[in-house]
Structure 1
Amino acid sequence: MEIEKSLYDNLQEFFGFDAFKGDQEAIITNILNKKDTFVIMPTGGGKSICYQLPALMSAGTAIVISPLIALMKNQVDQLRAFGGRDSIAHFLNSSLTKGEITRVKADVTSGQTKLLYVAPESLTKEDNIAFLQSISVSFVAVDEAHCISEWGHDFRPEYRKIRTILNEIGDNIPIIALTATATPKVQSDIRKNLQMTDATLFKSSFNRSNLYYEVRPKKNVVKEIVKFIRNNVGKTGIIYCLSRKKVEEIAEVLNINGIKALPYHAGLDAKTRAETQDKFLMEDVQVIVATIAFGMGIDKPDVRYVIHHDIPKSMEGYYQETGRAGRDGGEGHCLSFYSKKDVDKLIKFMKDKPVSEREIGTQILKEVIDYSESSVCRRKQILHYFGEKFDETGCNSMCDNCRSTKTHFEAEEDLVKVLNFIKEEGDKFDDQHIINVFIGQNNQPVSAYKHDEHALFGYGKDKGVNYWNSLIRQAELSDFVKKDIDHYGLLVLTEEGRKYLSNPYALKFILNKEMEAGDEEDGDEAGQASGALDTELLKMLKDLRKKIAKQKSLPPFVIFQDPSLDEMCTHYPVSIEELKQIHGVGAGKALKFGAPFVQLIKQYVEDNNIERAQDLVVKSTANKSALKVSIIQNIDRKIALDDIAGSKGISYEDLLKEVESIVYSGTKINIGYFVDEMIDQDRQDEVFDYFRSAEEDSIKTALKELGEEDYTYEDIQLMRIKFISELGN
């Protein structure tokens, strides 16, 4: 009872709390009793108190091994505020000067410091090992312990050395390992590597009932993000992107659209990163756009949304990052954008890695793909990944899949066939191999095992890949099969699966939605128009365009292209400034042709009492403006277009797209010098004559009319650019 009394007294004295959350009390008691302790607790569950409080109550100094300098600084500042003196907690890492290191060591040696935070890299230095051998260590806390495992989302080789160094520092030092995300495989790795097989395990539920999970296809992603943030005014959020370049671009777009945002990534200096974190904590900025480097050390309880602009690399990463929303138990919206192109990019990144690393990375990524493409309750899938059973009725429609209408199918007959195949052929095949057999896709592994001769080869061809993916995914979620992580995700029949084979019963599974193909970027001509077009206005705008085209003896597409008119019918621009924001218009065209269009739209809006959805008008960033200016300057100097492409590190095709976008926005450029080199005068005249009388500017149609044997796609594209520039601008 004495421990219990002092525990509560200390909790109140140091942290101002009257009660413990979840397993905190049992964990702290376990540490005070000098026992090894393994804590798996979701973000926001109160992990840090589990080692901070026993450290403050124990003789000697607790060493806290932590991977992030930002996290150390944050926690040390908090402890100093609670404890009332600076010497109570220190950190030892590469950011300190020699003088600061001397002061830290003096405070520790004199017994004033109860917690010493150390980076794993600093732990390996000989002078630090010697120093730690000379002091009284109460226990060691290994924070973010999943970093030990190659199967964790943030593997760090230095974490593998922790046990060896602890053996050097002293005998029988108690360890507490803590993580917010750990699959059964990662848990096993942590125990083995830290040699704490007898540690008491405290595992909290991974369910964050206040978080709403949603995955959308990646279409017009920037517009979707701006719209989402404008609909959540006054709330703070984090947007995660995979590349630093994309982080900078998105932050710029948000600021242009009146949303206070700052970028955060490892390429920024430490001072800028620290200032950015402080501004976010103090709510001077509404949104942080970041690579995954952001957020691990940020204790901001009221982040209201987390957006993934790109597909996360792993479910652990996704869980950890989404877990930064709603830590106070309030609203937390987790929105992810998914596209096949993102997946292809990540697979491409893995190509140069060693085979074992590539195999692991591919399996980890496959879990994210299955999660994104599945129509099953998202919460159920997340918790299943972390080894926790969950009945989807408990989701309470807190994910998009539980809210949407589902298509069910009778699974019994086909499920029995799949389970039998696994049973008879042995646990040697992953889901992809089994699907290939069932749809009759013959490849090297299928023929190597003579499965092209199997009775079930091609049995389910008419049902398609999506159907079999849905069936196998839900067989796994229902525990009929499990993935053997140690052996490249091979499917193994479980006891539950054997029981089902002995006594099958009718059951329904959910058919996955076919994910629409998402655009990788905004800004392509395709995909700019919204589905909610005002068809009456569109007809009026096309009539006006035709009239102006006739007056000026130009084809209608030279005035404005169809996607631009479509966008006008969605956003109703009523000033030249607003018209400039319409895709494919730009300042030049807005000034040259815009006045009658704006006048017509303004009158139409008034006559029909239309409430303009201005939250949908997204100003585009100038992120490509430097490239465009440079291209225009090079064209002025008459440098060959293929040479310009080479100097900018982009393909010739991409350069033509950039030049096209410059011209379609109303800027006049002269590429005649290059066209003359590529296409003889007679053919130039023929293409010009064609476009003068054409109803549309389609290159494919032009090729059919002019003859594919005489022209290439790029020839027509070049001539179209010249035509628009000379006649339209």
Structure 2
Amino acid sequence: MAGTQLQDQLIPTLKKYFGYDSFRGQQQVIIETVLNKNNCLVIMPTGGGKSICFQLPALLFKGVTLVISPLIALMKDQVDGLNANGIKAAYFNSSQTPEEQQLIIDQVADAKLKLLYVAPESLPGLENILKENYISCVAIDEAHCISSWGHDFRPSYQQLGFLKKQLPNTPVIALTATADKATRQDILDQLNISNAHSFISSFDRKNIEIEVRPADKRAQQIIRFIKKRPQEAGIIYCLSRKSTEQLAETLQNNGINTRAYHAGLGFEERSKVQEDYLFDKVQVVCATVAFGMGIDKSNVRWVIHYNMPKNLEGYYQEIGRSGRDGLKAHALLFHSYADVLQLRKFAEGSGNEEVQLAKLERMKQFSEATSCRRKILLSYFGELLAENCGNCDVCKNPPKFIDGTIIAQKILSTIARLNESEGVGTIIDILRGAQNATILERQLNQVKTYGIGSDIGWRDWQHYCIQLINQGLCEIAFHENNTLKLTDLSKKVLFENQQVWLTKPVIIKESVKEAPVKKAKTTNVNNLFERLRKLRYEISLEENIPAYLIFNDATLKEMEQVRPMSETELLNVSGVGQHKMEIYGDRFIAEILDFMGSKIKKPRKTDTHLKTFELYKSGMSIEEISTKRKLKTTTIYSHIAKLYSDGKDINIYDFITKNEVAAVQKAKEKLNDPSGLKPYYEYFEEQLDYFKIRLALSVVDKAS
């Protein structure tokens, strides 16, 4: 595609529907490749802008772009986001009635949709429209699911190779955030697009701070961590369903708004947890790894791994669910010896046991690293970082090395005296002189090294044992109940006095700069960002879409910095497109003007309100105006309320009764004139719709 054509078509489309003035990284060349009907493999980190690579071309293709997505529960989120940007999109899955499914098929046939999301299992239902006169492009999201080499293999994905055979001239774009070399080739071969152009972006998510801590009193550490971030949404990943529920209950008991999410819950309950989280009604979700795939919630500020993941691909993908808006985010991993043993048990006996164990070993090495963690993580995906990142715990608090020869000799000597028949826990108990039942009953207090390490804490001894294992000075016999064995190198330490260097355990210090939470709370009223966040939340409840789909945190931060006071200025903010400007612009401008102390108290009349007024005066109903303008009815009602407040000739009682107005007036007096609509909504026990509250308030305010 020629450069002039790019300027004439791509950039205006990007700004109008997505609110951005320029492309990021490789987006532009990928989009051009797709528009030129070439196949693509796109490896791009979570939050890197993968979706635009097929969503923007979809707007310029004549027919529909078919998007294959792995989980039904996630499609609504994707489609809601597109509709919020003014893009006609739908999903097709087994949760719909035959009538609903037929309506979608008819919309495709009539070229009324630009994107259609479908799970692999539902493709047979689209058989009649899987033709090149209907389908202009096929996008396969989370493409790593097709490969048994990958970390999230789904057998249903392996049938997708038929799409290229059935649609030979239709471009296929496969996208994933995580795939090593073997998985990439497997994706291309199985999709029958071996000739595809490959685009591999940097895996470096610089905005995510990486931290690993020992799994010591995890729950208490997590409670402290979250309470220092009271306004921030986060995800905690756990290894088992039981631990998600137990941890969620512990956090709830400590005043943290938390829910558990796992496959054992019913579909409706899982959907409710996901929806409440997307709508910011829940701050924290304790979940198994199924949660979060494909969710574009941009304001997740942190991810905690309660247990160690089984491989680096999964870890990378999960931490990538934070900081999608490019603002600072935090990834905290708790690492324990017990997790490693449990994950080994999970891997044993599986079809690809050798691969799983090798990947687990790399994960373990990452967790126990004493050098820049980001370097290790990126090198796993074939990307070399020249300098240390400066944004991981090792870089910020480098480990101190000590001469650990005597410590090593004490550990190895104890292993030898026990005839290499005990595990780490017993070794440490003997060194520390423990007097528990096991030690005393088995007379292990008679071992010569009993009590010679009583001056060192249990966790510190564990830290040193793990380092000896990592250095090959001893090894775990997994097939013999995880007992510790000596190696050839052990003898050099025990009998030849070979020097051993060990790192001292790092003492976890909570970040001082994050501590003053109370001050932040008292100044929130005078903080423009918080006011814009509050307005966004109110609109999200009115329109029944997640807050981040209105504007993400990065867009609100830019509004706070540049303080746009006109539509032209607001359009210059990254993330504000023409469609969202028309729907939400006046309310955000009004909030900024009010914050600035302007005398203009009311939202200014804009073209979008006048268009609604013209259609209203022509005799159209709210539903007809909504359909014609391609806006939600709640938005049209919002226009009606503002037009009435501005003195336009509106028969307000066509939309609300006098009793409802009286009830809202009474509520206003009882609630002492609260700000926002939510207090009213809760006052009426969610029985009076937001749009009616807004309409009633326009009458009450005008009369006062």
The offset of 1:443, in angstroms, is 9.8
From 126, 129, 135, the counterpart of 1:128: 126
Corresponding residue of 1:105: 105
The 3-state SS of whatever aligns with 1:22 is: coil
The offset of 1:319, in angstroms, is 0.5
Corresponding residue of 2:632: none
The offset of 1:437, in angstroms, is 12
- Alpha-carbon contact 1:438-1:461 (below 8 Å) kept: no
The offset of 1:408, in angstroms, is 8.8
Structure 2 CA distance for partners of 1:371 and 1:512, relative to 1, 3 Å: farther
The 3-state SS of whatever aligns with 1:336 is: strand
Question: How many Å separate the matches in 1 of 2:478 and 2:319?
Answer: 40
Question: How many Å separate the matches in 2 of 1:241 and 1:437?
Answer: 29
Corresponding residue of 2:29: 26
Question: How many Å separate the matches in 1 of 2:235 and 2:503?
Answer: 29
- Alpha-carbon contact 2:129-2:135 (below 8 Å) kept: no
The 3-state SS of whatever aligns with 2:263 is: coil
Matched, 1:252 2:249: yes
Matched, 1:13 2:11: no
- Alpha-carbon contact 1:30-1:37 (below 8 Å) kept: yes
The 3-state SS of whatever aligns with 1:324 is: coil
Corresponding residue of 1:480: none
The offset of 1:512, in angstroms, is 6.2
Question: How many Å separate the matches in 2 of 1:400 and 1:282?
Answer: 35
Corresponding residue of 2:73: 70
Question: How many Å separate the matches in 2 of 1:290 and 1:440?
Answer: 35
TM-score by length of 1: 0.56
1:653-674 superposed Cα distances (whole Å, 9 cap, x missing partner): xxxxxxxxxxxxxxxxxxxxxx
Structure 2 CA distance for partners of 1:364 and 1:515, relative to 1, 3 Å: farther
Question: How many Å separate the matches in 2 of 1:280 and 1:323?
Answer: 17
Corresponding residue of 1:339: 336
| Paired residue type of 1:407 | F
Question: How many Å separate the matches in 2 of 1:204 and 1:278?
Answer: 31
From 294, 316, 329, the counterpart of 1:319: 316
From 362, 365, 371, the counterpart of 1:370: 365
From 397, 408, 431, the counterpart of 1:403: 397
Alignment of structure 1 residues 192-207 onto 2, 5 Å: 192-207=189-204
Structure 2 CA distance for partners of 1:49 and 1:397, relative to 1, 3 Å: closer
Question: How many Å separate the matches in 1 of 2:357 and 2:301?
Answer: 31
Structure 2 CA distance for partners of 1:107 and 1:443, relative to 1, 3 Å: closer
Alignment of structure 1 residues 268-417 onto 2, 5 Å: 268-354=265-351, 357-393=352-388, 395-407=389-401
Question: How many Å separate the matches in 1 of 2:186 and 2:314?
Answer: 18
Question: How many Å separate the matches in 1 of 2:258 and 2:26?
Answer: 37
The offset of 1:397, in angstroms, is 4.1
The 3-state SS of whatever aligns with 2:130 is: helix
- Alpha-carbon contact 1:262-1:289 (below 8 Å) kept: yes
Corresponding residue of 2:410: none
Alignment of structure 1 residues 623-642 onto 2, 5 Å: none
Alignment of structure 1 residues 582-621 onto 2, 5 Å: none
Question: How many Å separate the matches in 2 of 1:11 and 1:69?
Answer: 27
Corresponding residue of 1:182: 179
| Paired residue type of 1:140 | V
The 3-state SS of whatever aligns with 1:77 is: helix
Corresponding residue of 1:119: 119
From 153, 160, 184, the counterpart of 2:151: 153
Question: How many Å separate the matches in 2 of 1:187 and 1:235?
Answer: 35
| Paired residue type of 1:20 | F
1:582-609 superposed Cα distances (whole Å, 9 cap, x missing partner): xxxxxxxxxxxxxxxxxxxxxxxxxxxx
Question: How many Å separate the matches in 2 of 1:389 and 1:461?
Answer: 36
Q: For the aligned residues, what is the CA RMSD?
A: 3.4
- The number of aligned residues is 436
- Alpha-carbon contact 1:264-1:276 (below 8 Å) kept: yes
Question: How many Å separate the matches in 2 of 1:437 and 1:248?
Answer: 37
For structure 2, the 5+ residue unaligned runs are 404-465, 480-486, 510-704
Which has the larger Rg?
Answer: 1
Sequence identity (%):
45
1:303-356 superposed Cα distances (whole Å, 9 cap, x missing partner): 1211111111211110111111122222211111111111111221233423xx
| Paired residue type of 1:458 | D
Matched, 1:43 2:73: no
| Paired residue type of 2:354 | E
Question: How many Å separate the matches in 2 of 1:9 and 1:368?
Answer: 44
Structure 2 CA distance for partners of 1:99 and 1:463, relative to 1, 3 Å: farther
| Residues 275-284 or 313-322, more deviating | 275-284
Question: How many Å separate the matches in 1 of 2:312 and 2:335?
Answer: 14
- Alpha-carbon contact 1:129-1:165 (below 8 Å) kept: no
Question: How many Å separate the matches in 2 of 1:75 and 1:161?
Answer: 23
Corresponding residue of 1:601: none
Question: How many Å separate the matches in 2 of 1:155 and 1:314?
Answer: 13
Question: How many Å separate the matches in 2 of 1:242 and 1:17?
Answer: 39
- Alpha-carbon contact 1:350-1:358 (below 8 Å) kept: yes
| Residues 255-264 or 198-207, more deviating | 198-207
The offset of 1:441, in angstroms, is 7.9
The 3-state SS of whatever aligns with 1:47 is: coil
- Alpha-carbon contact 1:146-1:179 (below 8 Å) kept: yes
Structure 2 CA distance for partners of 1:442 and 1:45, relative to 1, 3 Å: closer
1:116-165 superposed Cα distances (whole Å, 9 cap, x missing partner): 11111222x3x433431375211111111111222211111222221124
- Alpha-carbon contact 2:45-2:201 (below 8 Å) kept: yes
| Paired residue type of 2:209 | Y
The 3-state SS of whatever aligns with 1:133 is: coil
1:340-391 superposed Cα distances (whole Å, 9 cap, x missing partner): 111111221233423xx21121112111111111212110011011110012
The 3-state SS of whatever aligns with 2:59 is: helix
Question: How many Å separate the matches in 2 of 1:134 and 1:181?
Answer: 30
Question: How many Å separate the matches in 2 of 1:441 and 1:271?
Answer: 47
The 3-state SS of whatever aligns with 2:85 is: helix
Corresponding residue of 1:582: none
- Alpha-carbon contact 1:325-1:333 (below 8 Å) kept: yes
- Alpha-carbon contact 2:132-2:167 (below 8 Å) kept: no
- Alpha-carbon contact 1:14-1:82 (below 8 Å) kept: yes
1:259-279 superposed Cα distances (whole Å, 9 cap, x missing partner): 111111222233322322232
Question: How many Å separate the matches in 1 of 2:121 and 2:204?
Answer: 33
Alignment of structure 1 residues 477-496 onto 2, 5 Å: none
The 3-state SS of whatever aligns with 1:319 is: helix
TM-score by length of 2: 0.57
The 3-state SS of whatever aligns with 1:185 is: helix
- Alpha-carbon contact 1:213-1:333 (below 8 Å) kept: yes
Structure 2 CA distance for partners of 1:33 and 1:512, relative to 1, 3 Å: farther
Corresponding residue of 1:458: 488
Structure 2 CA distance for partners of 1:181 and 1:8, relative to 1, 3 Å: same
Corresponding residue of 2:135: 137
Corresponding residue of 2:683: none
Structure 2 CA distance for partners of 1:14 and 1:343, relative to 1, 3 Å: same
Corresponding residue of 1:448: none
- Alpha-carbon contact 2:258-2:286 (below 8 Å) kept: yes
Question: How many Å separate the matches in 2 of 1:109 and 1:170?
Answer: 16
Question: How many Å separate the matches in 2 of 1:459 and 1:13?
Answer: 65
Question: How many Å separate the matches in 1 of 2:471 and 2:399?
Answer: 31
Matched, 1:232 2:229: yes
Question: How many Å separate the matches in 2 of 1:34 and 1:380?
Answer: 37
The 3-state SS of whatever aligns with 1:14 is: helix
| Paired residue type of 1:89 | A
For structure 1, the 5+ residue unaligned runs are 410-431, 446-456, 472-509, 519-529, 531-729
| Paired residue type of 1:240 | Y
- Alpha-carbon contact 2:204-2:378 (below 8 Å) kept: yes
Corresponding residue of 2:89: 89
